[in-house]
Structure 1
Amino acid sequence: MAHTGTSARREFLAGCRDEAPLLLGVAPFGMIYGIAALAAGVPAWLAQLASAIVFAGAAQLVIVQMLAAGAGFIPIALTSGLLNLRHVLYSASMAEYVRHLPRRWRLLLAYVLTDEAYAVAVLRYQQRHAAAADHAEHTNATADLRHWYFLGAGFTLWAGWQLSTAAGLLFGTTIPPEWELDFAVPLTFIALLTLLLRERAGQAAALVAGLGALAFAALPYKLGLVAAIVLGLAAGAWTVRRLEQAR
């Protein structure tokens, strides 16, 4: 029992460690959200509560920007829903790795399943999944503690997002405009792309998403990007299944 506890703690800390570098891009992103929320007239307490409950950076930023522009409830709901559609495919991709866990664990991991946490956790599962195929005795639910790694990655991102949101709310008005923190948004996703391109599934997803973005660039309301995301994630999930069938 003590050995299992030690191993779980080791997995959790490994997830925290591997997620930490991504906070370099997430921290300015969270500050931008906090600043934008105040500019849109959102009370500081509500903006911070949204970060804790909604925990969806891109959607939160778009919501406050649309509020500032005077958009109505329905356009805001539709836009944020489309942006978060990719999380359904993240869930489908991770389902096979966590379906053996109790419901409370699946709900907790679903809450912390974000772009950055997915990018780190899925690599851990894929790398060790191949090794476990040759050592079947290590694949039972008792020995498989990778959900602790997943939790560590997700918790690190969650904590970083809360702190960066608070920093934006507290100090946003004192940050010089010439700092241009907007660079954090593309920087964050470039870092994710670098991680995911290590695996064939990530390469397939990037290729299909890139082609989709070009093919659907003319769609209104930037729906071409949403279509590209869906196509890319579907290609990645299909590649994972094909690779597993080939083993």
Structure 2
Amino acid sequence: MSSRLSEFLAGCRDEAPLQLGVVPFGMLYGIGALAAGMPPWLAQAASAVVFAGAAQLVIVQMLAAGAGALPIGLTAGLLNLRHMLYSVSMAEHVRHLPRRWRMLLAYLLTDEAYAVAILRYQTRGRPETGPDHRHWYFLGCGFTLWATWQLSTAAGLLFGATVPAEWDIDFAVPLTFIALLTLLMRERAGQAAALVAAVATLAMAALPFRLGLVVAIVLGLLAGVMAAKRSRP
């Protein structure tokens, strides 16, 4: 087996356990999209193009509430600001790649893919001799999540109405992010971001319209970026 294929398959294998939380997460989005009045084809296309679980859930919830395009766009953008932290952390590992590779990996850079791939880069350094194929591991992580998200969205669109209400699959959203937190807390940037965001959330919980959560996201992001820059050799 070639080193490229072995890295890709290793990424798929290591990403697989997180899909237990992603499947009900994607089904929730599909169910919510139908409830918001989105055509099934558009809901599925959004999973392929937007490919942002938390933002997609918020978008369909705001659509159902009758929110306008501007507040929906701003909210989704703020939710995805955390990807700037992921990008800063990953940049040093992928900057040597051709542009087509960087664009593909940027598209696949999600919470779950980052949490698994960054550990690979941190625990296994760049080989002293021979080509570096770790980006194929990253690709395996991202592809596994992407495929699961598409299939779980389709399952929500097709079978969501038949899911018993007592199953309460809403648990998947916090469960998924708790699992990611345990992975990301292993590095200093993740620790700084989590600590600052947690303190800010508690300190500003009284702000109206849940603005405290938005501010906490931004402050946590800035803390993580600063910690990542300081930890560079």
TM-score range, shorter chain: over 0.9
2:216 is matched with which residue: 224, 228, 238?
228
Structure 1 ranges of 4+ moved more than 3 A: none
Question: What is the Cα-based RMSD across aligned positions, in Å?
Answer: 1.7
Query: How far apart are the structure 1 equivalents of 2:188 and 2:139?
Result: 24
Matched, 1:78 2:66: no
Tell me the alpha carbon deviations over residues 117-172 of structure 1, each in whole angstroms, 9 at most, x when there is no partner: 1111111112224xx5xx7x24xxx6221111111000000000001000000000
How far is the alpha carbon of 1:51 from its aligned partner? 0.3
Q: Which residue of structure 2 lines up, in the alignment, with residue 88 of structure 1? A: 84
Q: Which residue of structure 2 lines up, in the alignment, with residue 185 of structure 1? A: 173
- TM-score, scaled to structure 1: 0.89
How far is the alpha carbon of 1:42 from its aligned partner? 0.4
Q: Which residue of structure 1 lines up, in the alignment, with residue 146 of structure 2? A: 158
- TM-score, scaled to structure 2: 0.94
Q: Which residue of structure 2 lines up, in the alignment, with residue 52 of structure 1? A: 48
Q: Which residue of structure 1 lines up, in the alignment, with residue 97 of structure 2? A: 101
Matched, 1:7 2:32: no
1:156/1:143 CA distance change after superposition, 3 Å:
same
1:128/1:241 CA distance change after superposition, 3 Å:
farther
How far is the alpha carbon of 1:73 from its aligned partner? 1.1
1:69 is matched with which residue: 54, 65, 68?
65
Query: How far apart are the structure 2 equivalents of 1:111 and 1:230?
Result: 22
1:233/1:17 CA distance change after superposition, 3 Å:
farther
Q: Which residue of structure 2 lines up, in the alignment, with residue 147 of structure 1? A: 135
Q: Is the 8 A contact 2:3 2:133 kept in 1?
A: yes
Query: How far apart are the structure 2 equivalents of 1:194 and 1:40?
Result: 33
Q: Which moved more, 1:79-88 or 1:218-227?
A: 218-227
How far is the alpha carbon of 1:208 from its aligned partner? 1.8
Structure 2 gaps, min length 5: none
Query: How far apart are the structure 2 equivalents of 1:121 and 1:233?
Result: 19
Tell me the alpha carbon deviations over residues 191-214 of structure 1, each in whole angstroms, 9 at most, x when there is no partner: 001111223332222222211222
Query: How far apart are the structure 2 equivalents of 1:41 and 1:54?
Result: 18
How far is the alpha carbon of 1:220 from its aligned partner? 3.1
Q: Which residue of structure 2 lines up, in the alignment, with residue 196 of structure 1? A: 184
Identity %: 76
How far is the alpha carbon of 1:97 from its aligned partner? 1.0
Amino acid at match of 2:209: Y
Structure 1 gaps, min length 5: none
Q: Is the 8 A contact 2:197 2:220 kept in 1?
A: yes
Query: How far apart are the structure 2 equivalents of 1:6 and 1:147?
Result: 14
Q: How many residues are treated as equivalent by the alignment?
A: 233
Indicate the SS of the match to 1:244: coil
1:38/1:149 CA distance change after superposition, 3 Å:
same
Q: Which moved more, 1:87-96 or 1:185-194?
A: 87-96
